[in-house]
Structure 1
Amino acid sequence: MALSPMDVTQLAAVDTARAARMLSEVRSATLSGQRAPLAPRPVIGQSWERMLRSGVDPDHDVRSGLLSREEVQRRRETSALRHVLPVLREGLLSVADVAHHIMVVADEEGRVLWREGSARVLRKADGLGFELGADWREEVVGTNGVGTPAVTRRPVQVFASEHFVRSHATWTCAGAPLTDPRDGRLIGVVDVSGPLETMHPATLAWVDSVAKLAEARLREMHLESLERLRAVAAPVLARLDGRALVVDDDGWTAAVTGMPYTRRIALPRSPSAGPNRLPGLGPCTVEPLAGGWLVRPADEPVPDGARIVLDLRHPRRWSLRVSGGAGSWSRELSPRHAELLYLLAVHRCGRSAAGLAEEVFGDRARTVTVRAEMSRVRRYLGGFLEHRPYRFREDVEVEVLLPDDPHGLLPHSTAPSVGGRRGSAQAP
């Protein structure tokens, strides 16, 4: 009875030679158009089909020109892979060396940038052209543990004659793609390879788990870079009126003022300083900052029919709904912001920082605290607010939804002005 591809993988762990012979028969029959005793695994069969369509010669390996040592070093220094190399080494090298394997790291173009592990296996790899600077793309050297994961964008183990090129049939490899968590872009492949007899079914899961650890490290580094950019952005945004945001080179937002938070904007790969038009923001001015860009959308009038609903009906679940020609959005409010916006809704003529301090704290000297809180409010509501004094814009309709029981108005609040309105609360 014919074995399934999964059975062959399991068989290889206990009888490598027999599994290799079976796969050799499958490969020969498949590539010659004859009926094979066993179908190749789908990921391998699909790769073979790609190789046949692209004209890769299964009986002769092709070794394109190696990169120079200088070019390998240049790519190492500019690749994001350099940041995760310690993670890959820690997770793979100690076991790989004992198991007579090598670890290979290639960039997104399939060029081998690092090889480490068993000296004996490294010499065998040299004989296959698996060298530093070598081009190991699938369309160049056939089905393999570097090029095939790069094409499929998933971990792939290639055992013995599953390699498309005959001379690689003494080799086994397991590779996993490495992607940039910021944009999902492929940045390279990590591969563990070795002689045929060193194959183990668990190798692929091991390599994949270490690749995921490396990607987690890249995510952590990205968050750290945003924190550094946020520190740069804070004093810059504090001096600005109107809408602005600070983003990194990939458009990820570090800080925002005067507008709703947007996780990421569509920033060109190489933005130019000065006037730009960005998707979702329209006309903008872009200025460079250390580690990112300051983006200032052009001031535009609040659309006709803009409406704000301040919902204070539910204890400790206060919210703001904004709608207008540009769409609608909502936001949950902190207790302090619910107080401030309620008071501004009551006093449509506006309140100074000292006036709000007296109404909220009973102390006109608490202006620093009020200004800090209003600065936070303006980060998401800036286009609908004026300042000096603080007030809603005259062309914005404001509705306040109050609790059925007037005594339930902002029950947490100790603000003198709010307390004085309980029991007789009315919508402005």
Structure 2
Amino acid sequence: MDAEEARRLNALYDEVLGGGRASAEPRPVVAESWQRSLAAQVDPELDAPPVVYGADRLAEVRESHPLNAVLPVLRQTLTSIADEASHIMVITDAHGLILWREGAADVRRQADRVALSEGAIWSEDAIGTNGMGTALATGQPVQIHSAEHLVRRIHPWTCAAAPVHDPDTGKLIGAVDISGPLRTVHPAMMALVTAAARLAEGQLQVLMAAADEQLRARNMRHLMALGEQSGALLTPTGRVLAVQPLGWLPDRLIVPDGADRIELGDGREAVVEPLDEGYLLRIPGTSRRRTSLDLKLLGGSQPIATVNGRPIALTLRRAEVLALLMLHPAGLTAEQLMLQLYGDEGNPTTVRGEMHRLRNLLGSGVLDTKPYRIIADVTGDVDLVRKALAQRDLGTALQYYSGPLLSRSEAPALRAERDELDATLRAAVLESADTDQLWQFAQTSTGADDLEVYERLEAALPLDDPRRPTAVVRRLRLSEE
């Protein structure tokens, strides 16, 4: 940032906060932040933010914070650059508490003068508009220059920050920031902190997957011991990691602290048993016999709904509706169904009419309204494949996968679901070293025209395997196309 731009921002700051007629407007993100900060009674002449933790207490807070696990990645990404560019790297929690601050020694000394230091709170309601606080307030990456800061003492600084979210819950857990004196501003600061935040989230995702696998390995015996009883393994945050039988639970449940029972969306009550890590969920019995619904939606054949053993052929539109409701166990409103079926060009009245006809076709005990949802005991090939892939059970996934989900459907939500399911299954198959599973995938309409699949088969199948000539011929044909 050159001196002329800094003077322009200072003049604008004085005009806007002085209450006179401003010659221009601050950037929207800055103006909105000033409004929030002033509403929180932040004084623009404030000396420094509060320092709430000393070194001993801060060490405990750091140890338990999720970003502690990815600190080496952030250091590798940002600290060396910060040193070279006369910046500091700052990492906060979700409330703006500075947990770590590292970088050039001379910049750290300057930062100490405005309490840009470990243990201080840099939320908007503590110190006004700033990179970290505003990124946390908006949930978006942001860069704040000079007099865009609400508090005058911070005007000699420039900063760029990006929020970091928990990949498990989606909740905000902190922010990553690069700060420095005005002379050190660089156009790449924003891109750098944004990339660092995404890298941290990616690393947290990897750690979460490892923890999930460990929880499954240690506790699967509890689920298997339930026998015929329905049950599930849940993470401490309520994510469903494993379930028997497949397909009867949503991906996440709310488990209140200390709860020993929870009510499911279908009216049944489940017993919650705490494990060393996570929970075992079980259904001791059902209070009433419910209608069974089985949906066959994969492959190129006509979609079929089987209600209490009675097969019913479905039109494409009715199959689309049932597919969406199965994929959303909590239900959808008419407006939500409209958007997922037709996009912005739909009409809720059309959806309501289709739902009325579908309820009459399937009979009582299958569909409910307000919102529209399936209340029968539902199973379906698409959901069984999704659940099996989530549990890394490729054999079961291939057993139920006969082709793409409603391949003729142009409904936006189902096209996205179809593409994701096919891509996930394909990636799992290619990652697997099992030649039989690779061959099984190649026999589906999805794998039949996949050149890489047949290249892998040609390389893996022994010369005397009767499947190899077919693999070679198909590979040659696909190579020529």
Could you tell me the TM-score, scaled by structure 1's length? Answer: 0.69
* Aligned counterparts of 2:298 and 2:104: Cα–Cα separation in 1: 68
* Aligned counterparts of 1:186 and 1:313: Cα–Cα separation in 2: 40
CA contact (8 A) 1:233 1:254 kept: no
2:77 aligns with 91
1:293 aligns with 279
2:381 to 331, 335, 343: 331
CA contact (8 A) 1:233 1:255 kept: no
* Aligned counterparts of 1:93 and 1:304: Cα–Cα separation in 2: 60
Matches within 5 A, 1:253-272: 253-260=240-247, 262-272=249-259
Go from structure 1 to structure 2 and tell me whether the alpha carbon gap of 1:215 and 1:41 turns closer, same or farther (over 3 Å shift): same
Q: CA deviation at 1:54?
A: 2.4
CA contact (8 A) 1:319 1:330 kept: no
Identity %: 37
Go from structure 1 to structure 2 and tell me whether the alpha carbon gap of 1:279 and 1:222 turns closer, same or farther (over 3 Å shift): farther
* Aligned counterparts of 1:57 and 1:329: Cα–Cα separation in 2: 60
1:164 aligns with 150
Go from structure 1 to structure 2 and tell me whether the alpha carbon gap of 1:287 and 1:319 turns closer, same or farther (over 3 Å shift): farther
Q: CA deviation at 1:251?
A: 0.9
* Aligned counterparts of 1:90 and 1:207: Cα–Cα separation in 2: 12
CA contact (8 A) 1:284 1:296 kept: yes
2:124 aligns with 138
1:251 equivalent in alignment to 2:238: yes
Q: CA deviation at 1:186?
A: 1.1
* Aligned counterparts of 2:158 and 2:149: Cα–Cα separation in 1: 8
Rg larger in structure: 1
Secondary structure at 1:38 match in 2: coil
Matches within 5 A, 1:2-401: 12=1, 16-240=2-226, 241-260=228-247, 262-272=249-259, 274-279=260-265, 282-300=268-286, 303-308=289-294, 321=306, 324-325=365-366, 326-327=375-376, 328-332=378-382
* Aligned counterparts of 2:266 and 2:289: Cα–Cα separation in 1: 15
* Higher relative contact order, chain-length normalized (CA < 8 Å, sep 6+): 1
Go from structure 1 to structure 2 and tell me whether the alpha carbon gap of 1:263 and 1:23 turns closer, same or farther (over 3 Å shift): same
Q: CA deviation at 1:181?
A: 1.3
Secondary structure at 2:381 match in 1: strand
* Aligned counterparts of 1:211 and 1:312: Cα–Cα separation in 2: 38
* Aligned counterparts of 1:336 and 1:165: Cα–Cα separation in 2: 63
CA contact (8 A) 2:296 2:380 kept: no
Q: Letter of the aligned partner of 1:48 in structure 2? A: W
CA contact (8 A) 1:156 1:175 kept: yes
Q: CA deviation at 1:330?
A: 2.1
Secondary structure at 2:229 match in 1: coil
Q: Letter of the aligned partner of 1:104 in structure 2? A: V
Unaligned runs of 5+ in 2: 309-364, 367-374, 385-395, 402-481
Secondary structure at 2:131 match in 1: coil
Unaligned runs of 5+ in 1: 1-11, 339-428
CA contact (8 A) 2:240 2:253 kept: no
Secondary structure at 1:172 match in 2: strand
Residues 274-316 of structure 1: CA deviation (Å, up to 9, x unaligned):
434355563111112232110002421564543557799967x
Q: Letter of the aligned partner of 1:264 in structure 2? A: D
Residues 338-375 of structure 1: CA deviation (Å, up to 9, x unaligned):
9xxxxxxxxxxxxxxxxxxxxxxxxxxxxxxxxxxxxx
Go from structure 1 to structure 2 and tell me whether the alpha carbon gap of 1:22 and 1:309 turns closer, same or farther (over 3 Å shift): closer
* Aligned counterparts of 2:94 and 2:253: Cα–Cα separation in 1: 23
Q: CA deviation at 1:318?
A: 9.3
**Which structure has the highest strand share of the two?**
1
CA contact (8 A) 1:25 1:36 kept: no
Could you tell me the TM-score, scaled by structure 2's length? Answer: 0.62
Go from structure 1 to structure 2 and tell me whether the alpha carbon gap of 1:337 and 1:129 turns closer, same or farther (over 3 Å shift): closer
CA contact (8 A) 1:265 1:279 kept: no
CA contact (8 A) 1:107 1:189 kept: yes
Residues 231-285 of structure 1: CA deviation (Å, up to 9, x unaligned):
123322222222000010011111111252535332325244x434355563111
Residues 9-63 of structure 1: CA deviation (Å, up to 9, x unaligned):
xxx2xxx111100000011101112232332111001111122222211123343
* Aligned counterparts of 1:66 and 1:93: Cα–Cα separation in 2: 25
* Aligned counterparts of 2:62 and 2:156: Cα–Cα separation in 1: 29
Q: CA deviation at 1:188?
A: 0.8
CA contact (8 A) 2:238 2:252 kept: yes
**Which structure has the highest helix share of the two?**
2
1:380 aligns with none
Higher mean alpha-carbon deviation, 134-143 vs 54-63, is at 54-63
CA contact (8 A) 1:175 1:192 kept: yes
Q: Letter of the aligned partner of 1:226 in structure 2? A: D
* Aligned counterparts of 2:6 and 2:294: Cα–Cα separation in 1: 71
Q: CA deviation at 1:65?
A: 3.7
Secondary structure at 2:12 match in 1: helix
* Aligned counterparts of 2:13 and 2:298: Cα–Cα separation in 1: 71
Secondary structure at 1:235 match in 2: helix
Secondary structure at 2:194 match in 1: helix
* Aligned counterparts of 2:24 and 2:51: Cα–Cα separation in 1: 36
CA contact (8 A) 1:250 1:269 kept: no
Residues 352-407 of structure 1: CA deviation (Å, up to 9, x unaligned):
xxxxxxxxxxxxxxxxxxxxxxxxxxxxxxxxxxxxxxxxxxxxxxxxxxxxxxxx
* Aligned counterparts of 1:38 and 1:329: Cα–Cα separation in 2: 60
- Moved runs in structure 1, 4+ residues, more than 4 A? 278-281, 307-315, 317-325, 332-338
Go from structure 1 to structure 2 and tell me whether the alpha carbon gap of 1:312 and 1:283 turns closer, same or farther (over 3 Å shift): closer
CA RMSD of aligned residues (A): 2.6
* Aligned counterparts of 2:211 and 2:12: Cα–Cα separation in 1: 50
* Aligned counterparts of 1:105 and 1:137: Cα–Cα separation in 2: 12
Number of residue equivalences? 322
Q: CA deviation at 1:319?
A: 7.5
Secondary structure at 2:209 match in 1: helix
